[in-house]
């Protein structure tokens, strides 16, 4: 059974990014499509990596951090030290995100209070 492949246009459309963005990630060594002449041919691994890159960026990972995670994952297949390091990095990022989520909740609460005060003041001025 032949492996399903994707064109750069397929991936750009699926993930709502430009083809230039995908080529940039390729230039950074984060994805490695096969070539057929000038055409890039992406496989499932490239697609998953692109998805992970975009998710990583969305949660605040740098491209360097994403590359390190990919490298660790690739090396960690059966190697305990790499797996432990991978888990440590993921745990650290998870903790950072939990802290950010708490900060966001506090700020949202403060915004709500300020908005309520403004609405009360506006209501007073209107009556």
**pLDDT tens-place string over residues 25-60:** 999 999 999 998 989 999 998 998 999 899 888 888
User: In angstroms, rounded to a whole number, what is the distance separating the alpha carbons of residues 44 and 27?
Assistant: 19
Q: Is residue 66 part of a domain?
A: no
Q: ∠32-82-3 over CA atoms, to 5°?
A: 30
Report whether 25 contacts 31 (CB < 8 A): yes
User: In angstroms, rounded to a whole number, what is the distance separating the alpha carbons of residues 6 and 44?
Assistant: 8
Task: State the residue range of the domain holding 13.
Answer: 1-60
Mean pLDDT, residues 76-97 taken together: 78
| Domain count for the chain | 2
Does residue 81 share a domain with residue 108?
yes
Q: What is the pLDDT of residues 92-121, one digit of tens each?
A: 888 988 999 999 999 999 999 999 999 999
User: In angstroms, rounded to a whole number, what is the distance separating the alpha carbons of residues 104 and 96?
Assistant: 12
User: In angstroms, rounded to a whole number, what is the distance separating the alpha carbons of residues 96 and 102?
Assistant: 10
Whichever domain contains 50, its CATH number is 1.10.1660.10
Q: Is the pTM of this model over 0.85?
A: no
């Amino acid at each position: 059974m032949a492996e399903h492949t994707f064109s750069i246009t397929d991936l750009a459309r699926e993930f709502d990014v430009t083809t230039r963005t995908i080529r940039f990630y390729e230039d950074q060594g984060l994805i490695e499509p096969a070539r057929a002449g000038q055409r890039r041919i992406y496989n499932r691994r490239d697609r998953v990596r692109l998805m992970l890159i975009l998710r990583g960026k969305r949660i605040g990972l740098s491209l360097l951090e994403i590359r390190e995670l990919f490298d660790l994952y690739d090396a960690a297949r059966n190697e305990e030290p790499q797996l432990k390091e991978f888990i440590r990095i993921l745990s650290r990022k998870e903790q950072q995100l939990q802290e950010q989520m708490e900060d966001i909740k506090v700020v949202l609460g403060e915004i709500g209070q300020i908005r309520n005060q403004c609405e009360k003041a506006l209501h007073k001025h209107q009556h």
